[in-house]
Amino acid sequence: MRHLHPRRAATALLSAALFAPVLTSLPAAATAAPAAATTSATTSATTTAATTSAAAIMSAAAARPAIAWAACGSALPGLDCGTMRVPLDYDRPRGDQISLALIRRPADDKTARIGSLLLNPGGPGGSGVDFVAQAGNLLFTPRVRASFDLIGFDPRGVARSSGLQCFRTTEDQLAVLAPFAFPVTLAEEARWVLGHRLVSKACEKRGGPVIDHMSTANVARDMDQIRLALGEARLNYVGYSYGSLIGSTYANMFPDKVRALVIDGVLNPVSWTTGQGDEAETVPVFGRLGSEQGSYETFQQFLALCDAGGPSCAFSAGDPRQRFDRLARQLLREPAVLPDGDGGTVTVTYADLVAVTRVALYSAAVWPDLAALLADLEGAANPARAAVRLERLQALLEPPAAPYEQVYEGIAGVACSDSDNPDNEAAWARSARRADERTPYFGRPWHWISSICASWPGADDDRYVGPWDRRTAQTVLVVGTRYDPATRYRGAVTTAGLLGRARLLTVRAWGHTSLLTSTCADDATAAYLLRGELPAPGTVCQANTVPFAGTSGVGASKAAKVSALVRPKLLGEPLAR
């Protein structure tokens, strides 16, 4: 018998059909994660904000960094892959250097080309190279794709850039982590904490110098070096999910360098970094963001729309809320045992149910599949069919594995460097229990994600914690989806008020970010990127379709895969171990 195992959230973007050939066809410089630069001194870790001096920035810029471009190969026709060198520590711009991996989708119409548009899919730990390779032909409107080179990059410490790798293999890391999606019992909490401490210990031993230089501020500094290398006077940027924080940080560190900056699926930068007052002493970073509230509100929409959808939703008979509650209690008492198709069985626990549900909320296109799975799990009415449904849902939501998966390195390397957090895991346990009382099902998983920060060995003296109200050369476009299960809508509203010059665009849709959900939002974003035109204050875009009430022009498989690109790096969704 095997159990479902929390492996990693899907932010590596390549589908099963593309992933293997991409890895073999990209130039070696773009696919290998170069060894982190070595240094003779270790920077002391503090939690104070420090900005890079103007002299250091000017010194780094004076070198005019260059990108070494080459065709990606036959698996990615028409795309260019590249690498560039940037300082490990911008306080020492002529010191040790690290490599960044990039990809370019050239503008479709050279005569109409405006410039380069940098993209980040989120995470932390998401690969911008994979984002453009997988989704570049789906993003934005045809006019935008005709007018801009789309540029993706793997942030420092991530994927093909000089990476943080704390274990020899992915399997070695999975072996020390807890074999469940998130802890429910006290015994599971102890096992979860042990796994995080073992990962932290491995990263202290094997992480190398990059572990102390992975803050979002350093990613923003890298982005400005990319801008210089591309020959752009000002930056064009679109960041989704955690990528919104990169955008907010860049806007405040380099306010005069903004031509067009879109943040979609928005993290409140104050909540991410320090919290309000002494909040960070008791509430971890994801709890401050209110992500569990976003999941809960979106889940209530799933249940209500399922109920209204009647026969179009397989879980609509009776009261869907009461049915889900009964199913959850049932699995909490006794996990379901399903056939695995190979003569064995797979066990589905309460935590697995919550994890599958939470990840499925990211894309309304797969809500019918989630409803069908819940119906088949209920009362173990049809275990064989439930197993098939689970496999289909995982196939829709989960990209294939990379040669080495940064299960925790990406999210911890950034989040623990950026944010203030409690100094012991007991605070996570208390916060998670309180959150689960307020927002049933989703409080525990969201809060426990970041408990590794209690033991994380890295810290970045050059993180940025504000101010967040510096006036940018151009207005920032802030896009918030009303029912976003991860970056709740309130984050967009608050951030639009924090930034020195911003306009909020509300999208009444369901799922994480506005990607592939609203033609209205796509058109508004295009007008802003192409001509600098802002939507009128108070503009609300409607979704192309309402779940269980119609069909979308984008298939479930395509929508789910693109949605997977912008999920947080680790959600604890279940995967077969």
DSSP letter string over 216-273?
Answer: HHHHHHHHHHHHHHHT-SSEEEEEETHHHHHHHHHHHHSGGGEEEEEEES---HHHHH
Decide the pairing of beta strands 2-6 and 574-576. Answer: antiparallel
Is residue 99, in this structure, part of any structural domain at all?
Answer: yes
Distance separating alpha carbons of residues 202 and 191, to the nearest angstrom = 17
| pLDDT value of position 30 | 39
Asked if 258 and 235 touch (Cβ cutoff 8 Å), the reply is yes
Distance separating alpha carbons of residues 130 and 65, to the nearest angstrom = 23
Range of the domain at 461: 1-25+50-577
| pLDDT value of position 40 | 33
| pLDDT value of position 173 | 95
| pLDDT value of position 404 | 87
Is residue 383, in this structure, part of any structural domain at all?
Answer: yes
DSSP letter string over 129-146?
Answer: HHHHHHHTTTSS-HHHHH
Partners of residue 510 on adjacent β-strands: 483
At a CB cut-off of 8 Å and minimum separation 6, what does 41 contact? none
Asked if 438 and 291 touch (Cβ cutoff 8 Å), the reply is no
- Count how many domains the chain has: 1
275: left (phi over 0), alpha (psi -120 to 50) or beta: left
Residue 347 burial by CB count (10 A; 0-12/13-18/19+): exposed, middle or buried?
A: middle
At a CB cut-off of 8 Å and minimum separation 6, what does 227 contact? 118, 234, 235, 257
Residue 214's CB: how many other CB atoms inside 10 A?
30
| pLDDT value of position 110 | 95
* DSSP helix, strand, coil percent of the chain (3-state; round to 5): 45, 15, 40
| pLDDT value of position 4 | 52
Residue 364 burial by CB count (10 A; 0-12/13-18/19+): exposed, middle or buried?
A: buried
Asked if 264 and 140 touch (Cβ cutoff 8 Å), the reply is no
Asked if 61 and 225 touch (Cβ cutoff 8 Å), the reply is yes
Is residue 254, in this structure, part of any structural domain at all?
Answer: yes
Is residue 35, in this structure, part of any structural domain at all?
Answer: no
Residue with tokens 């939703």: 313
Among candidates 113, 247, 141, which has minimal Cα distance to 524? 141
| pLDDT value of position 141 | 97
Distance separating alpha carbons of residues 214 and 418, to the nearest angstrom = 8
Asked if 491 and 480 touch (Cβ cutoff 8 Å), the reply is yes
Is residue 38, in this structure, part of any structural domain at all?
Answer: no
CATH for 244? 3.40.50.1820
Which parts of the chain have pLDDT scores under 50? 1-2, 5-55, 60-61, 552-553, 568-577
| pLDDT value of position 341 | 75
